[in-house]
Amino acid sequence: MNENKKGDVLKAGYFSIAKIDVHVIRQMYQVFSQYYENTTWDVFLQDLSKKTGAFIMRNSAGRVVGFSTVMTCKVMVGGRPVNGVFSGDTILERAYWGSRALQLEFFKFLVAEKARHPFNPVYWFLISKGFKTYLLLANNFYTFYPRHDGHASYLGDIVDAYCEQMFPAYYNRERRLLDFGHDYSPLRSDVAEITDRMREDNPSIRYFEDLNPEWRRGTELPCVGELRWVDLMKFTVRYATKPASKGRLDAEGATPAQAQSKSRLKSVVALRSVGN
């Protein structure tokens, strides 16, 4: 559970598509249409029906304030199948930006998926039309592609494989970009804009825009993260000790010093819980 600046509690949970009723789906669409242009109910519903399930985030009143769709799948790479989790749309109302409710639930989902394939590679597939989606990968995975330092370039073959299997008509292999055309649903112009300061301060954001310069139009940067047991252990420690994000600071109205002190206290409690 996480709170926004008004002390509202945010809860996240995973549900298979068959267990999500129409009332909840309509709330999901209301959130989606706030942040994307060229949206229609029919297209949204059609895309949702192709997914395995969704993480749904609700506030203390039970209203849906965000969601993230997923699909488990197998992709042929070099003549052999590999296991993957594909992430579709991920939307969260601005008041809750910085919350880690989704992050924790998604991590638990990945652990369960890895447990089903303990001795085989498992990959996270995602396509990002905005830098926030890309940072979910860059800030939380240790082995991923593409990345500004050039590491793990071998994962580019995985990107080619899943894009050519899932989106053959829209994939530009040379640029490693997905272009769904001008009638696609881009982010609204006032959502997740990249400022000059952000480009200067964050090499991952700068790199995302270098690779996907037309992101405002809705072009998508396909990415992949490799899920390994050693990375899951590292993630657990990072989650327990990570300070609040800027989005969380804005939501809570805390100063950086206050956030750092609060984070240290949470870290001690979390690590003691693990030890017990």
Average pLDDT, the chain: 82
pLDDT category at 225 given cuts 50, 70, 90 is very high
CATH superfamily of 2-242: Gcn5-related N-acetyltransferase (GNAT) (3.40.630.30)
pLDDT value for 220: 94
pLDDT category at 89 given cuts 50, 70, 90 is confident
Of 24-33, 90-99, 127-136, 179-188, which has the strongest mean pLDDT? 24-33
Cβ density class 255-269: b for 16+ within 10 Å, e for less: eeeebeeebeeebee
Supply the DSSP string of 11-80, one letter for each residue. EEEEEEGGG--HHHHHHHHHHHHHHBSS--HHHHHHHHHTSSEEEEEE-TT--EEEEEEEEEEEEEETTE
The domain spans of the chain are 2-242, 244-276
Neighbours of 79 (CB within 10 A): 5
State the burial class of residue 100 (Cβ atoms within 10 Å of its Cβ: 0-12, 13-18, 19+): middle
Nearest to 222 by CA among 253, 176, 259, 265: 176
- Amino acid (one-letter) located at 261: S
Q: What is the pLDDT of residues 134-174, one digit of tens each?
A: 998 998 888 999 999 999 999 999 999 999 999 999 999 99
What's the helix, strand, coil split of the chain in %, to 5? 45, 25, 30
C-alpha 213/C-alpha 248 separation (Å) is 27
Higher-confidence position of 234 and 140 = 140
